[in-house]
């Protein structure tokens, strides 16, 4: 037999061996499936659960709230992806490298290249998974602050976070109904302790439910409990690590109290490491509800509003920042204004801009968070702005958008919708304020979503995904990357749980 013949035989033998191995795995998973326990029913947890199911697991999903969804259902601007089908359809030229560069720049001195590469290089596949497996519409692409290219995707309907999360919840409930032996869901269950074996591996969880303490055993546990952006309690994560933020409101649900961090750092044999716990994102635009202006919890004014053409002005009707700068930069400018007595701060949208986010704006209007004015003059009179200031601001803004002058605040991205904002044009207006929004810190992981101990070694049987993890975003998270992080690392964790 000649050399090529030997190679063909070798390839054939390897192929048969690989097929046999995969079949053995499938048979084993069908007869004795691995149990994967997911703690937290937001988008990361749902993604991990579905991915584990796709690989033949039996899944247990628990959440301390009465319903699944977490903060993911609130996400209103979209999900990032580079080199996606939607971008190609809109003739948007993007690259994984450009997305990586934007994310690294945003992360600053705390950038972790391996985690950023994992996030950005898996983004297109994450969106494809959502659209093909769950029929999630991601056809609209916009640009958010800190992005050099439009890459934040959403659909034609309501809030993208709700669209994604509800689709995954619905399909999981369908599987639970048709194959109850494969899916078990437990709501209203607060995890209190991760169970360890004698070697420090994680083998389950103890939790509290209405009828007392119970436990579940599993081969693998995935933490997807969210962050700590609502942990304002004495001795909590915010009071210990960011006491300067305690007087700010939050846009987070009351469940976001750092439960996963507490579970992971309370292990007796191999304590999990934390990272970047002092890195907390303050979002520049939370709605001030006229009915309850001092409420500690705010509804987020989607960054997509600024991406679609929203303008920020102070109480004098004057701009003060590049509306599409990084969140931490815009927030810092706003806090300076508030300290200087130049609040309230207003978010203004022209009618064409508002129509690109009609579902969002209709919701905000129905809640009384936005108000419609016949034109800028009516708004000026209603809020007693200095005469002529707003007209001058609009005129300058249109000049920058038309390229006649350079914006002194450094804004370079404009499109046709920005020309619809004028003193004699219809206007939608909202009062806004900075809000504690997202916690970049969390449990330390590697690029395979393994939770790491204090020596940087993976803890056997423990993975994590979503806002509970730290290190992915560094000093500042780009808008649109929270949902992406949930999907990318949720899929990695769900798949990794079936490999160990």
The dihedral sign for the CA sequence 69, 75, 76, 81: negative
Q: Which of 50, 255, 306, 319 is catalytic?
A: 306
Q: Report the alpha-carbon distance of residue 229 to residue 442 in Å, rounded.
A: 11
Q: Which of 34, 242, 283, 360 is catalytic?
A: 283
> Judging by DSSP bridges, how do beta strands 442-443 and 274-275 pair with one another?
antiparallel
Treating both helix axes as pointing N-terminal to C-terminal, what angle do 160-178 and 123-134 enclose, rounded to 10 degrees?
Answer: 60
Q: Report the alpha-carbon distance of residue 423 to residue 395 in Å, rounded.
A: 8
Phi/psi-derived region of residue 341, left when phi > 0, alpha when psi is between -120 and 50, beta in every other case: left
Residue 446's CB is within 10 A of a number of other CB atoms, namely 17
Treating both helix axes as pointing N-terminal to C-terminal, what angle do 113-121 and 96-107 enclose, rounded to 10 degrees?
Answer: 140
The pairs formed by 25-33 with CB atoms below 8 angstroms and a separation of 24 or more are 25/56, 26/56, 29/55, 29/56, 29/57, 29/498, 30/56, 33/57, 33/58, 33/182
Residue whose tokens read 């986010």: 357
Answer yes or no: 450 catalytic: no
Secondary structure of 282-316 as H, E, C letters: EEEEEECCCCCCCCCECCECCHHHHHCCCEEECCC
User: What stretch of H or E contains 213?
Assistant: strand 212-217
Answer yes or no: 283 catalytic: yes
Residue whose tokens read 């949930």: 486
Q: Which of 458, 471, 112 is nearest to 275 (CA)?
A: 471
Q: Which of 186, 185, 176 is nearest to 211 (CA)?
A: 186
Residue whose tokens read 């210990």: 240
Burial class (CB in 10 A: 0-12, 13-18, 19+), 107: buried
> Catalytic positions, please?
283, 306
């Amino acid at each position: 037999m000649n050399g090529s013949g030997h190679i063909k035989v070798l390839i054939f033998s390897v192929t048969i061996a690989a097929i046999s191995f995969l079949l053995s795995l499938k048979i084993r998973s069908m007869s004795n499936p691995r149990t994967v326990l997911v703690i937290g029913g937001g988008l990361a947890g749902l993604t991990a659960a579905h991915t584990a199911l796709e690989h033949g697991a039996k899944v247990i999903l628990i959440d301390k709230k009465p319903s699944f969804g977490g903060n993911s259902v609130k996400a209103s601007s979209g999900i990032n992806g580079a080199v996606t089908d939607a971008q190609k359809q809109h003739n948007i030229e993007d690259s994984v490298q450009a997305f990586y560069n934007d994310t690294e720049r945003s992360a600053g001195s705390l950038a972790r290249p391996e985690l950023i590469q994992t996030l950005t290089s898996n983004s297109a596949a994450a969106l494809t998974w959502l659209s093909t497996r769950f029929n999630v519409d991601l056809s609209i692409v916009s640009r958010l602050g800190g992005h050099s290219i439009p890459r934040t995707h959403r659909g034609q309907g309501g809030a993208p976070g709700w669209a994604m999360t509800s689709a995954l919840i619905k399909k999981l409930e369908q599987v639970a109904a048709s194959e109850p032996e494969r899916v078990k869901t437990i709501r209203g269950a607060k995890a209190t302790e991760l169970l360890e074996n004698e070697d420090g591996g994680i083998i389950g969880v103890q939790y509290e439910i209405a009828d007392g303490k119970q436990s579940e055993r599993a081969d693998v546990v995935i933490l997807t409990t969210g962050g700590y952006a609502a942990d304002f309690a004495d001795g909590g994560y915010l009071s210990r690590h960011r006491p300067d933020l305690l007087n700010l409101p939050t846009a987070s649900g009351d469940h976001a109290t750092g439960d996963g961090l507490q579970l992971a750092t309370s292990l007796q044999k191999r304590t999990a490491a934390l990272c970047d716990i002092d890195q907390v994102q303050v979002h520049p635009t939370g709605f001030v509800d006229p009915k309850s202006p001092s409420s500690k919890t705010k509804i987020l004014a989607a960054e997509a509003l600024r991406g679609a053409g929203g303008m920020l002005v102070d109480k004098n009707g004057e701009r003060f920042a590049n509306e599409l700068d990084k969140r931490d930069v815009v927030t810092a400018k706003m806090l300076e204004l508030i300290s200087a007595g130049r609040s309230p701060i207003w978010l203004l949208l022209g009618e064409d801009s508002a129509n690109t986010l009609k579902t969002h704006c209709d919701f905000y209007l129905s809640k009384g968070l936005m108000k419609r004015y016949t034109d800028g003059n009516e708004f000026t009179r209603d809020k007693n702005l200095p005469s002529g200031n707003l007209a001058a601001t609009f005129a300058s803004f249109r000049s920058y958008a038309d390229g006649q002058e350079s914006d002194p605040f450094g804004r370079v991205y404009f499109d046709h919708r920005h020309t619809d904002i004028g003193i004699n044009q219809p206007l939608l207006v909202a009062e806004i304020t900075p809000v504690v929004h997202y916690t970049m810190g969390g449990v330390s992981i590697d690029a395979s979503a393994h939770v790491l101990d204090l020596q940087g070694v993976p803890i056997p049987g423990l993975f994590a995904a979503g806002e509970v993890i730290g290190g992915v975003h560094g000093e500042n998270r780009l808008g649109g990357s929270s949902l992406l992080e949930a999907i990318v690392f949720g899929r990695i964790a769900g798949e990794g749980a079936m490999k160990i």
